[in-house]
Structure 1
Amino acid sequence: MRGVEPGICTICPPFHKYCGQEVDILPRTTKCRRVCIAPDNRVFTPKRPCGKPVTLRLEELESLRLCDLEGLEQDSAAQRMEVSRGTFQRILYRARQKVAGALCEGCPIVIEGGNYQLASSGQGCPHSCSRCYPNELQIGKELKSNE
């Protein structure tokens, strides 16, 4: 078992029920997803909202854009976002589930957050997307200028 010190109980992680020994398990770090769009409008609300706002992460919006708007296959869309096809599938499934639920239940949709890197057409985006922003590289919520 990875991340476990020798002599520590591995039967019942993270805390053994009988002997009380702790097991140190570290989660994998999440890779940044490449995103080529940062929408100006980040909140969409029905005329009469009926529920809690649904938060759609930027990488989820990007997966919807690539598959449903641009019509890319999941393999090529995953390459554009620099993730595996399985990861892309999970992101897309989660996005479709959130949007469908919000539309059916009349909930507002808020687009924010996530683990992403905003590509720029000049330096970061290998696809020269028309939606990429020049001279900017945005990681998460921080905006950094490339020089």
Structure 2
Amino acid sequence: MPLVSKPGEKWEYNQTGYMLLGMIIEKISGLTFEEFLARRFFRPLGMTATGFGDSREVVPRRSSLYSLYVLRDKKLVDSPDKIHATQFLYPAYLYMGAGLNTTASDLAKWDAALSAGKILKPATLNSMWTAARLNDGTV
């Protein structure tokens, strides 16, 4: 895959890194990505309403997804005057970067564990929350 820009030149979101990480986790653990997360994090933290899926899945207590955008002529366009119900469809191979569903209660459990250093070391957490600077010094 060719680079979009030189390293440190600009920022651009891309799920490829998440997909590669998920593939590494599956290879090393011998588990699917979903099962690894369930065993390692969700079950021990009591996150019983957290799992993967998309709009086709029935997920108890999941809120509906709404958008200020609408698809017109195969393009997303602003629709600020009306909120639209929308769907999201994720094939299982994208679960490493999308498709995780949870409830506010389970998200609070995750946040508490993350803040308490039960998921990441404090130094790692601090690094994660530190803004990265581009080569020109901008954040």
Superposed pair shares fold, TM > 0.5: no
Higher relative contact order (CA 8 A, sep 6+): 2
TM-score, normalised relative to structure 1: 0.21
Q: Which entry has the higher C-alpha Rg, 1 or 2?
A: 1
Higher helix fraction: Structure 1 or Structure 2? 2
